[in-house]
Amino acid sequence: MRGPIMILAGRNLSPFTRRCAISLIHAGMSYEMDELNAAQEKEKVQQYNKLGRVPALKLDDGTCLVDSWAILDWIDQTAGPDKALVPASSDARRDVLRLTAYAMGTMEKAVAYFYETGLRPEDKRWKDWGDRLGSQVVDGFTFLEEALGDSEWLHGNRMTQADITTVCAYDFATVRAADLLDGGKRFPKLAAFTDRCNKLEPFAKTNLDPYRG
């Protein structure tokens, strides 16, 4: 008989949830997905997180971790240094966290931009606020485009959380904020980087194809 297994609550359309899913797969950790839409299924989400937010990770001992930063920290600590996506110490940790923070901030603004310009009723939208959010998304991706340059990864010679979070942010934007990307032409290096990463197993298994179209 199979014992308890971890459950990740949320949908991969949520870039916060997806970065946790990718990190779990990278670490070789088995989990099941409870594909909940936090905006429409609040009571179900509250079974995992009383705030009604995703992602939430229910561990096999019943403990529920909430918010992606806490989930990712637990994954790194459990997976060990060979699989950890953020270095444990030194300047490498500082640099990866700095890049991840830029990617995370851009991700947050892309989600807020979609809420303001895509979900809010048209007669309730605040154009100046939407424009500000859009400019923050563009500025964030501009920074990440320059940080990536012609390198294979944003930091060092292997994938880190900065790469995962950047791809999740950019890929979400291709679905929910595509008008800011000019069909991939505005940030060609990030577009190519995202395409390359999406062919890797952890990204391919969490792809956003179901949400396109």
Domain at 6-79, CATH from 1.10.800.10, 3.40.50.2300, 3.40.47.10, 3.40.30.10 = 3.40.30.10
Global pTM value? 0.96
Residue type, 102: Y
Do residues 86 and 161 touch, judged by C-beta distance below 8 A? yes
CA dihedral 105, 166, 23, 155 (to 10 degrees): -110
How far apart CA 22 and CA 88 sit, in angstroms, is 20
Per-residue pLDDT of the chain (213 residues; tens, 9 = 90+): 455 689 999 999 999 999 999 999 999 999 999 999 998 999 999 999 999 999 999 999 999 999 999 999 999 999 999 999 999 989 999 999 999 999 999 999 999 999 999 989 999 999 999 999 999 999 999 999 999 999 999 999 999 999 999 999 999 999 999 999 999 999 999 999 999 999 999 999 999 999 997
- Side-chain-facing half-sphere of 176: CA atoms under 13 Å: 25
What the block records as the tokens of 165 is 């979070």
Burial of 15 (0-12, 13-18, 19+ CB in 10 A): buried
Domain boundaries, the chain: 6-79, 90-200
**Domain 90-200 architecture:** Up-down Bundle (1.20)
| H or E element at residue 65 | strand 64-66
